[in-house]
C-alpha cells in the first residue's frame, strides 16, 4: 500500500516539476503546504474539543434523567402504597379518604371539561366530517375514487367516532339528569350526527361497490384502511359485549357491585351499545354483489353473467379473492362468504327460471351444464373442496333429480300423446281400406307409421340428450321400449285381428252365419280385397321400424359408460322384439288370409276326385303362389319373404295333414297320390325357397308314406322311431289318425300307440331345449256325428 502511495506522490511531483523553472518554485510550494497543514491541524483540534463538550453534556443529562426516573419510581411506589393503605384501612383510619375524594373530584372535573370541549367543537367537527366524506364522494362521481389515498376516510372516521362517543356519553347523562335542557341538547346532537353517520355509511357502500376498481388499479392501501376501520369497530363492539356480559353476570350479586361496574364501564368503553359495522360491512358487501345480478335476474338469461368468453363471473370472483388475500384479516375467512353470495345470486336466477315452470329442455340442460361446469371450475381454480361445494351448488342433487324426472315425465307424456295420435290416424286408415293400394313398387310404404314413430323418438331423444344425464336417457328408452312399443304392437294386433275376422266373414257363403259373426252395425267393407296389400305395407313398416330402432339405439350408446350401454342394448332388444313380433304377426295374418282362400279347396283331399286328378292341389298352389307369394315379392322387402314363406308352408302342410281327421279310407293309389302332390308342391314353391326350409318340411310326406306302407306292429314302431329322428316332436295323434284311416284293429292301435307314446316321451326329453316344429300343432279330432 505504501509503495502505491509513494508512486502516486512521485507522479504528482513529476507533473509539477516539468523543467528547471519549476524547481525555483519548489521552496514556495513547500512553504504553502506547511501553512495549509497548520490550518487543518488547528481546525481539527477545535472540532475535537466541541464534540468532547457535547459528550459531557449528554452524560450529565442521562445522569439527571436517571435520578428523575428513580424519584418518579419512588413517588409512584409511595402513591401505590398509600392507595393500598387507604383501601385496606378505610373503616379503621379515615385519614386517606381524602385521596379518594380528591381523585373523584379531579375525575369529574376532567370529564366535564372533556364534554364541554367536545360540545364546543361539535359543529366544527361535524363540518369537517361532512367535508371529508363529500370530497371522497365527489372523487367517486368523477371516477377518481380508485386512486384515492383513503386518508379522508380515516380522518372522518376518527372525528365521527369521537362525536358518537360523545353522543353516547350525553345520552347517559340525560338519563341521569332532571334538566330538560340536557335532553334537548342530546336530541339536537343526535339529529345532526345522524346525517354524518348516514353519509359515512353511504360512502362505505360506494367503496364496497368499487372494490374491483381498487383491485384493477392496485390501490390496496385504500382497502386496507377501510378494513382497519372495520377491525377497530369490531374491537370496540367486542368490548361492549364483554362489559355487558360482566354486568349480566353481576346481576345475581350485590346491586352496589353492579352499579360500580356500570360506572367503571363508561371509563373503559366509550360507547353505550354496539355499532355493528362488521355486520353492516358484510350486509353492504352482499347487497353489492346481489345488485350486480339484478338485470340478469329480470332477463332470466344465464349466459349474460358469464360474459362473451364465459369467464367474466369467475374472473370477478378471482379479483375479489385477490382483494381478500391482500387486505382482509385471515380470521375473517371472508372469501368463502363472497363466493357464497355470488353463488346465491346465480342460484336466484336459476330458481327464477325453474320456478316459472316455463323453461325448455334446452334451458334445463343449460342449467345442468352450468351447475356441473361451475362445480369443476370452483374446484380447480379456487381449490374448493367437494364438501364446501355441496352447500353452494347452483342446483342441489335433490332438485336436479326432481327437474330431470319432471322433464322425463313431460317427454313421456308428449311421446304418449304423439304416438296415440299417429297410431289413431294410421289404424283408422288401415281399417277404412278407403284407398286402393298403389301398384307402383316405390309406393309400398303406404302408412309410414314407422317414420312417424321414429320422428317422435328422435325428437324426444334429442331433448333428453341435451340434459346430459345418461340415467334419464336410459329411463326414457326404457319407457319407449316397454310401453310405447308394447302399445304399438297391441294396437296393431287388435286392428289385424279385427280386419282378419272381417276377411273370414267375407269368405263365408252362409248369410245367417255371416250375421252371427257381425256385431251391431258392423259390416264387411266392400274394399276388403285390399287387406292383403294393407297388411303387406304394415309388415314393411315393421321392418323399417326395426332397422331404425337398432340404428338409433346404437347411435346413442357412444360415449356412455358400460353400465348404461349394457342397459340400452337390453332395451334395444325389447323394442325391436315388439316390432319384429308385430311384423311376424302381419305375415301370420297374411298366411291365414291365404288359408281362408284355399282352405275350402283342400276339403276334397283323400277323396276319389283327389286320387283321380291333381286339380285340387294345383288350385291350392296357384292361390298360394299367384295371389300371395308373387305379389308379396313385388311389394315388400326381400327379407320378409322368407318369413312369409315359412308361415304359409307351415299352415298349408298342417291343413294338409288335418284332412286325415275325416277318416277317409285309403285307396291303393294313396302313396302315388302323395308322391304326386309332393312333386307338385316342390315344383311350384321351391323357387321361393332360398333357405331350403321347404325341403326339410316335405319330409312329413315321406313319413306319411312310410307309415301308411307299414304292415305290422313292429314296422309301425320302427318307422315311428325313424320319423322322430327327423321331426323330434311329431305328435302320436298323427299316427292314431293314420291307423284309423287304415281301419286297423282297435287292440292293435292301442298297442302301437302305447309303444310309440313312450318313444315320443323319450324324444321330447332328449330335445327339451329345441324350438317346437309346426307339426306339434297337429291334433286328433274326433269325427262329428
pLDDT for 393 equals 87
**In whole angstroms, what is the distance from residue 492 CA to residue 430 CA?**
10
pLDDT tens digits, residue range 264-275? 555 567 788 899
Q: What angle do CA 695, 701, 707 make, to 5 degrees?
A: 140
**Average predicted confidence (pLDDT) for the chain:** 83
Q: How far is CA 165 from CA 170, 202, 336, in A?
A: 9, 20, 34
Least confident of 274-283, 309-318, 399-408, 480-489: 309-318
Q: Name 743's Cβ contacts closer than 8 Å, sequence gap at least 6.
A: 665
pLDDT above 60 for 3: no
Contacts 24+ apart (CB under 8 A), 719-722: 720/756, 720/759, 721/759
- Answer whether 367's CB lies under 8 Å from 318's CB: no
The CA-CA-CA angle for residues 134, 137, 143, to 5°, reads 140
pLDDT score of 471? 83
Q: What is the pLDDT of residue 654?
A: 96
Asked whether the predicted pLDDT for residue 509 surpasses 90, the reply is no
What is the rounded average pLDDT of the residues 705-715? 92
Highest mean predicted confidence (pLDDT) among 120-134, 365-379, 397-411, 582-596: 582-596
Please answer whether residues 708 and 673 qualify as being in contact, where contact means their C-beta atoms are separated by less than 8 angstroms: no
pLDDT at residue 139, as a whole number: 94
Domain-wise residue ranges, the chain: 40-88, 111-280, 292-395, 396-598
pLDDT bin (cut points 50, 70, 90) of residue 65 is low
**pLDDT top residue among 682 and 263:** 682
Q: What was the pLDDT predicted at 308?
A: 46
pLDDT value of position 395: 83
The CA-based angle 315-318-321, given to 5 degrees, is 155
DSSP conformation letters of 492-553: HHHHHHHHHHHHHHHT---HHHHHHHS-TT----TTGGGHHHHHHHHHHHHHHHHHHHHHHH
Looking at the structure, give the CATH architecture of the domain made up of residues 396-598: Orthogonal Bundle (1.10)
CB 555 within 8 A of CB 472: no
| More confident: 107 or 194 | 194
Residue 664: per-residue pLDDT:
86
Higher pLDDT, 267 or 434: 434
Confidence grade of residue 508 (pLDDT, cut at 50, 70, 90) = confident
Among 231, 340, 330, 239, residue whose Cα is nearest residue 285: 340
Give me the pLDDT at residue 377, please.
87
Chain centre to alpha carbon of residue 395: 8
What pLDDT shows up at residue 1?
47
Instruction: Summarize pLDDT for 646-661 with one digit per residue, the tens.
Output: 999 999 999 999 999 9
Of residues 552 and 650, more confidence is placed in 650
Low-confidence winner among 98-107, 146-155, 304-313, 615-624 (lowest mean pLDDT): 98-107
Q: Of 170 and 648, which is predicted with more confidence?
A: 648
Distance CA 452, CA 35 (A): 124
Position 776 confidence tier, pLDDT thresholds 50, 70, 90: very high
Q: Is the predicted pLDDT of residue 137 greater than 60, yes or no?
A: yes
* 375 pLDDT above the threshold of 50: yes
Query: Given a cut of 60, is residue 92 above it in pLDDT?
Result: no
Q: Which of 171-180, 192-201, 561-570 has the lowest mean pLDDT?
A: 171-180
Q: What band does 21 get if pLDDT is binned at 50, 70 and 90?
A: low
Highest mean pLDDT among 189-193, 376-380, 401-405, 643-647: 643-647
Reported as a pLDDT band with limits 50, 70 and 90, residue 454 is confident
pLDDT at 322: 95
pTM: 0.65
Residues of the chain with pLDDT > 70: what percent?
A: 78
C-alpha span between 142 and 387 (Å, rounded): 44
* Digit-coded pLDDT (tens) for 242-293: 888 887 777 655 554 455 555 555 556 778 889 999 999 999 999 999 988 8
With a cut of 80, say whether residue 89 has pLDDT above it: no
Residue whose cell numbers read 360507547 = 271
Amino acid at each position: 500500500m505504501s509503495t502505491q502511495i509513494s508512486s502516486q506522490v512521485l507522479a504528482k511531483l513529476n507533473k509539477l516539476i516539468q523543467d528547471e523553472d519549476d524547481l525555483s518554485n519548489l521552496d514556495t510550494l513547500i512553504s504553502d503546504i506547511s501553512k495549509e497543514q497548520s490550518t487543518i491541524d488547528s481546525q481539527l483540534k477545535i472540532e475535537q474539543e466541541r464534540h468532547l463538550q457535547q459528550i459531557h453534556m449528554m452524560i450529565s443529562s442521562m445522569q439527571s434523567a436517571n435520578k428523575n426516573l428513580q424519584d418518579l419510581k419512588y413517588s409512584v411506589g409511595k402513591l401505590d402504597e398509600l392507595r393500598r393503605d387507604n383501601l385496606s384501612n378505610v373503616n379503621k383510619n379515615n385519614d386517606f379518604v381524602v385521596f379518594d375524594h380528591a381523585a373523584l373530584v379531579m375525575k369529574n372535573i376532567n370529564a366535564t371539561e372533556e364534554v364541554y370541549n367536545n360540545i364546543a367543537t361539535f359543529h366544527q367537527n361535524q363540518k369537517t366530517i361532512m367535508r371529508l366524506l363529500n370530497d371522497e364522494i365527489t372523487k367517486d362521481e368523477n371516477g377518481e375514487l380508485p386512486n384515492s389515498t383513503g386518508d379522508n376516510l380515516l380522518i372522518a372516521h376518527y372525528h365521527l367516532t369521537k362525536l358518537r362517543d360523545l353522543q353516547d356519553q350525553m345520552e347517559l347523562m340525560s338519563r341521569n339528569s332532571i334538566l330538560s335542557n340536557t335532553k334537548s341538547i342530546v336530541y339536537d346532537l343526535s339529529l345532526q350526527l345522524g346525517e354524518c353517520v348516514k353519509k359515512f355509511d353511504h360512502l362505505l357502500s360506494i367503496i364496497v361497490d368499487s372494490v374491483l376498481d381498487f383491485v384493477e388499479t392496485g390501490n390496496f392501501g385504500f382497502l386496507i384502511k377501510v378494513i382497519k376501520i372495520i377491525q377497530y369497530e369490531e374491537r370496540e363492539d367486542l368490548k361492549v359485549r364483554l362489559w355487558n356480559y360482566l354486568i349480566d353476570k353481576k346481576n345475581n350479586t350485590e346491586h352496589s357491585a353492579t352499579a360500580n361496574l356500570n360506572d367503571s364501564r363508561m371509563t373503559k368503553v366509550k360507547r353505550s351499545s354496539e355499532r355493528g359495522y362488521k355486520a353492516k360491512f358484510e350486509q353492504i358487501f352482499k347487497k353489492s354483489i346481489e345488485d350486480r345480478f339484478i338485470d340478469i335476474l329480470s332477463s332470466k338469461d344465464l349466459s349474460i353473467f358469464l360474459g362473451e368468453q364465459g369467464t367474466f363471473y369467475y374472473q370477478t370472483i378471482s379479483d375479489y379473492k385477490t382483494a381478500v388475500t391482500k387486505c382482509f384479516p385471515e380470521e375473517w375467512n371472508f372469501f368463502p362468504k363472497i363466493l357464497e353470495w355470488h353463488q346465491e345470486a346465480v342460484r336466484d336466477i336459476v330458481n327464477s327460471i325453474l320456478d316459472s315452470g316455463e323453461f325448455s329442455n334446452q334451458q334445463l340442460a343449460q342449467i345442468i351444464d352450468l351447475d356441473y361446469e361451475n362445480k369443476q371450475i370452483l374446484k380447480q381454480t379456487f381449490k374448493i373442496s367437494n364438501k364446501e361445494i355441496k352447500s353452494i351448488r347452483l342446483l342441489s342433487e335433490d332438485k336436479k333429480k326432481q327437474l330431470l324426472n319432471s322433464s322425463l315425465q313431460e317427454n313421456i307424456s308428449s311421446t304418449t300423446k304423439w304416438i296415440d295420435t299417429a297410431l289413431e290416424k294410421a289404424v283408422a286408415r288401415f281399417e277404412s281400406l278407403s284407398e286402393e293400394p298403389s301398384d307402383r313398387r316405390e309406393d309400398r310404404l303406404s302408412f309410414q307409421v314407422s317414420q312417424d314413430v321414429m320422428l317422435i323418438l328422435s325428437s324426444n331423444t334429442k331433448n333428453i340428450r341435451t340434459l346430459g344425464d345418461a340415467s334419464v336417457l336410459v329411463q326414457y328408452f326404457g319407457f319407449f321400449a316397454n310401453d310405447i312399443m308394447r302399445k304399438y304392437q297391441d294396437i296393431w294386433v287388435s286392428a289385424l285381428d279385427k280386419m282378419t275376422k272381417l276377411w273370414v266373414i267375407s269368405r263365408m257363403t252362409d248369410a245367417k252365419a255371416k250375421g252371427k259373426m257381425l256385431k251391431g252395425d258392423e259390416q264387411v267393407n266392400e274394399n276388403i280385397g285390399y287387406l292383403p296389400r294393407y297388411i303387406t305395407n304394415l309388415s314393411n313398416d315393421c321392418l323399417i321400424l326395426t332397422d331404425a330402432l337398432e340404428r338409433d339405439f346404437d347411435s346413442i350408446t357412444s360415449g356412455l359408460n358400460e353400465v348404461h350401454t349394457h342397459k340400452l342394448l337390453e332395451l334395444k332388444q325389447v323394442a325391436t322384439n315388439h316390432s319384429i313380433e308385430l311384423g311376424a304377426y302381419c305375415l301370420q295374418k297374411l298366411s291365414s288370409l291365404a288359408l281362408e282362400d284355399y282352405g275350402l279347396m283342400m276339403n276334397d283331399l283323400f277323396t276319389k276326385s283327389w286320387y283321380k286328378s291333381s286339380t285340387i292341389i294345383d288350385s291350392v298352389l296357384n292361390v298360394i303362389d299367384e295371389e300371395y307369394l308373387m305379389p308379396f315379392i313385388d311389394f315388400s322387402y326381400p327379407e320378409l319373404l322368407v318369413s312369409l314363406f315359412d308361415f304359409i308352408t307351415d299352415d298349408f302342410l298342417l291343413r294338409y295333414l288335418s284332412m286325415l281327421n275325416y277318416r277317409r279310407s285309403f285307396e291303393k293309389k294313396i302313396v302315388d297320390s302323395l308322391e304326386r302332390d309332393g312333386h307338385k308342391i316342390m315344383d311350384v314353391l321351391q323357387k321361393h325357397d332360398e333357405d331350403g326350409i321347404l325341403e326339410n318340411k316335405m319330409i312329413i310326406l315321406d313319413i306319411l308314406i312310410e307309415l301308411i306302407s307299414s304292415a305290422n306292429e313292429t314296422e309301425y314302431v320302427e318307422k315311428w322311431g325313424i320319423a322322430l329322428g327327423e321331426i323330434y316332436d311329431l305328435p302320436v295323434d298323427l299316427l292314431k289318425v293314420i291307423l284309423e284311416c287304415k281301419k286297423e284293429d282297435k287292440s292293435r292301435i292301442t298297442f302301437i300307440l302305447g309303444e310309440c307314446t313312450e318313444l315320443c316321451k323319450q324324444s321330447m326329453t332328449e330335445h327339451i331345449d329345441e324350438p317346437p316344429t309346426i307339426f306339434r300343432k297337429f291334433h286328433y279330432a274326433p269325427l262329428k256325428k
